[in-house]
Amino acid sequence: MAGDITTIARPYAEAAFARARETNTVGAWTEGLELLAAVAEEPTMADQISNRNVPRERVRDLILDVGSGVLSDDMANLVRLLADNDRFAALPQIAVLFEDLKSRQQGMYQVHVLSAYPVSPDQQKELADAMKAKLGGDVELTVDEDASLIGGVQIHAGDLVIDGSVRGKLQQLATELQF
């Protein structure tokens, strides 16, 4: 599902970023998208967004009311477009992708590493150096532990995913055995 929401969110994030650069309002868009993502993730609002019995126009108006004073006309138009296409659930991912585009434009890549075991500072430096060479820009590395990986690591850098985890290899093997 995460891949699906990213696919849905990407064109909106790219359009928002292009508009933000065009109007020299990247900072304001960052603030506005952070607010929109927080609103969409708030449990009561998330229930409204996922409830097919609640008219999209009502959700749109609620979001616009919460964002009044912060959202520019362009950001309000994005909210209206998301309402028209029933894509409010993509708001948090739109914000994430927007920030990724902003970082890339500044030559900085956000790299998230999931590891089954603790990663030492030396190993983190090695990973950061390898990713810097691969991506061709500075890297900001975040590392989290996830025992469900069983062993190995998963590396996420924008669209690039390197899955060297045991869980990933088992899933790949299971998929191959089904065919």
> Once rounded to an integer, what is the mean pLDDT over residues 142-150?
93
pLDDT of residue 125: 95
Say what the pLDDT of residue 106 is.
Answer: 85
**Per-residue pLDDT at 24:** 95
Average pLDDT, the chain: 92
Summarised one tens digit per residue, pLDDT across range 70-123 is 999 999 999 999 999 999 999 999 999 999 899 888 888 889 999 999 999 999
Are residues 153 and 165 in contact, defined by beta-carbon separation less than 8 angstroms?
yes
Which residues does 47 contact at the CB level (< 8 Å), separation at least 6?
none
pLDDT exceeds 90 at position 34? yes
**Position with higher pLDDT, 6 vs 11:** 11
| 131 pLDDT above the threshold of 80 | yes
**Residue 57: burial class (beta carbons within 10 Å; 0-12, 13-18, 19+):** exposed
Q: Check: CB of residue 71 under 8 Å from CB of residue 120.
A: no
- How many CA atoms does the CB half-sphere of 106 hold within 13 Å? 14
Query: Helices 26-41 & 2-22, crossing angle to 10 degrees?
Result: 150
Residue 3: its pLDDT value, please?
A: 57
Q: Is 19 helix (H, G, I), strand (E, B) or coil?
A: helix
Q: How far apart are CA 98 and CA 15, in angstroms?
A: 9
Residue 170 sits at the vertex; the CA angle it makes with 134 and 121, to the nearest 5 degrees, is: 40
Could you read off the pLDDT of 91-102 as tens digits, one per residue?
999 999 999 899
Q: What is the pLDDT of residue 161?
A: 87
Phi and psi based region of residue 152 (left: phi greater than 0; alpha: psi -120 to 50; beta: remaining): left
Residue type, 10: R
Position 158 confidence tier, pLDDT thresholds 50, 70, 90:
confident
Give the model's pLDDT for residue 136.
Answer: 85
